[in-house]
């Protein structure tokens, strides 16, 4: 009796699911973007048009290297350097070769950085852009070699260098060879500096580990995007070592600027204009824009 009464009440209050058929909406996976900082939701199309910057809170999402280059350099001026250079497996790390092949296919990159000569607002320079999609832009032999060669190329042509950093540090799959890239890239920066040439680093999210401890911190001018993570060791490691609670904004671009490690914090929309202006201010007579045409061809 009680069971019958319960069924009658249930049928009146909540009809069976079959009585209220539901339409299944076919929503594309990439239709919307949810900001990981403020939780705001916008159309992916609008988010991309805004340079992958959240319109609500200003969160700067990570960019792929080709996207960064398109946003930064003058159209048609990019001439890639050392294209096709790929890592081998120097210490025979299990699964490393397969991982590299998978990432090369997925990203269309040979490794975690693209270097080249270009113009920015009409100013000639050598550019390097790291890509966190490729093993978190960790620095192995190829990354270190391409950076070193970019600086050597810039010295020969008396050009400034602009490097966009984004990395999780050294690449453990290459063992001690990855750590040796810190010394190699730092030596290349010193060679460029001795030639009296300008070096600008742009710190993007995240810049950590051996990259921070080498070429990322050696720029004549150090720029950072807002709120990006910059540091060497992780917060928990440091707190566990010094037995102290770190400030909430520790290892952010703003904290580093306050303590003198970053010169400027520049929003993404203003980076191209700012870089062009800085290069022009420091331009030497032999680094004017006459050497490259709009199509990226050198005059002989």
Whether residues 191 and 55 share a domain: the answer is no
Whether residues 54 and 67 share a domain: the answer is no
The pLDDT, as a whole number, for residue 234 is 87
Whether residues 48 and 150 share a domain: the answer is no
| pLDDT per residue as tens, the chain (300 positions) | 555 645 654 555 555 555 555 666 566 778 899 999 899 998 999 999 999 999 889 999 999 999 999 999 999 999 999 999 999 999 999 999 999 999 999 999 999 999 999 999 999 999 999 999 999 999 999 999 999 999 999 999 999 999 999 999 999 999 999 999 999 999 999 999 999 999 999 999 999 999 999 999 999 999 999 999 999 998 899 999 999 999 989 999 999 999 999 999 999 999 999 999 999 999 876 544 444 443 443 332
Q: Is residue 10 part of a domain?
A: no
Whether residues 94 and 230 share a domain: the answer is yes
The pLDDT, as a whole number, for residue 30 is 80
Whether residues 191 and 81 share a domain: the answer is yes
Whether residues 166 and 272 share a domain: the answer is yes
Q: Is residue 23 part of a domain?
A: no
**Domain coverage including residue 259:** 62-291
Q: Is the peptide bond before 145 cis (omega within 30 degrees of 0)?
A: no
Whether residues 53 and 107 share a domain: the answer is no
Q: Is residue 56 part of a domain?
A: yes
Whether residues 92 and 240 share a domain: the answer is yes
**Distance between CA atoms of residues 14 and 107, nearest Å:** 50
Q: Is residue 296 part of a domain?
A: no
Q: Is residue 16 part of a domain?
A: no
Whether residues 187 and 259 share a domain: the answer is yes
Q: First-to-last CA distance in the chain?
A: 99
Please tell me the total count of domains within the chain: 2
Q: Is residue 13 part of a domain?
A: no
pTM beyond cutoff 0.75:
yes
The pLDDT, as a whole number, for residue 290 is 43
Up-side HSE of residue 36: CA atoms within 13 Å toward CB? 5
| Residue 5, token pair as written in the block | 């009464």
Element at 202 (helix H, strand E) = strand 199-207
Q: Is residue 267 part of a domain?
A: yes
Q: Is the torsion defined by CA of 30, 227, 178, 217 positive or negative?
A: positive
Whether residues 192 and 138 share a domain: the answer is yes
**CATH of residue 90:** 3.90.226.10
Integer-rounded Cα Rg, in Å, for the chain is 24
The pLDDT, as a whole number, for residue 299 is 33
The pLDDT, as a whole number, for residue 283 is 87
């Amino acid at each position: 009796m009680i069971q019958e009464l319960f069924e009658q009440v249930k049928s009146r209050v909540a009809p069976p699911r079959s009585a209220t058929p539901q339409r299944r909406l076919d929503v594309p996976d990439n239709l919307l973007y949810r900001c990981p900082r403020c939780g705001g939701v916008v159309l992916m199309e609008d988010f991309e048009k805004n340079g992958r910057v959240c319109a609500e809170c200003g969160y700067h999402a990570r960019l792929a290297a080709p996207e960064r280059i398109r946003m930064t350099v003058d159209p048609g001026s990019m001439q890639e350097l050392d294209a096709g250079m790929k890592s081998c497996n120097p210490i025979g790390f299990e699964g490393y070769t397969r991982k590299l092949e998978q990432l090369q296919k997925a990203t269309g990159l040979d490794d975690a950085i693209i270097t080249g000569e270009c113009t920015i607002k009409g100013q000639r320079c050598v550019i390097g852009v790291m890509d966190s999609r490729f093993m978190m832009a960790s620095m192995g032999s190829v990354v270190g070699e391409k950076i070193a060669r970019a600086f050597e190329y810039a010295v020969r042509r008396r050009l400034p260098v602009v490097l966009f950093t984004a990395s999780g540090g050294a690449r453990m799959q290459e063992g001690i060879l990855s750590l040796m890239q810190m010394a190699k890239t730092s030596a290349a920066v010193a060679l460029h500096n001795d030639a009296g040439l300008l070096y600008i680093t742009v710190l993007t999210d995240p810049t950590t580990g051996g990259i921070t401890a080498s070429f990322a911190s050696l720029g004549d001018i150090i720029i950072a995007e807002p709120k990006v993570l910059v540091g060497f060791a992780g917060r928990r490691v440091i707190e566990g070592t010094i037995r102290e609670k770190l400030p909430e904004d520790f290892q952010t671009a703003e904290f580093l600027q306050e303590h003198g490690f970053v010169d400027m914090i520049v929003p993404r929309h203003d980076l191209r204009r700012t870089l062009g202006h800085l290069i022009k201010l420091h331009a030497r007579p032999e680094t004017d824009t006459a050497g490259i045409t709009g199509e990226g061809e050198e005059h002989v």
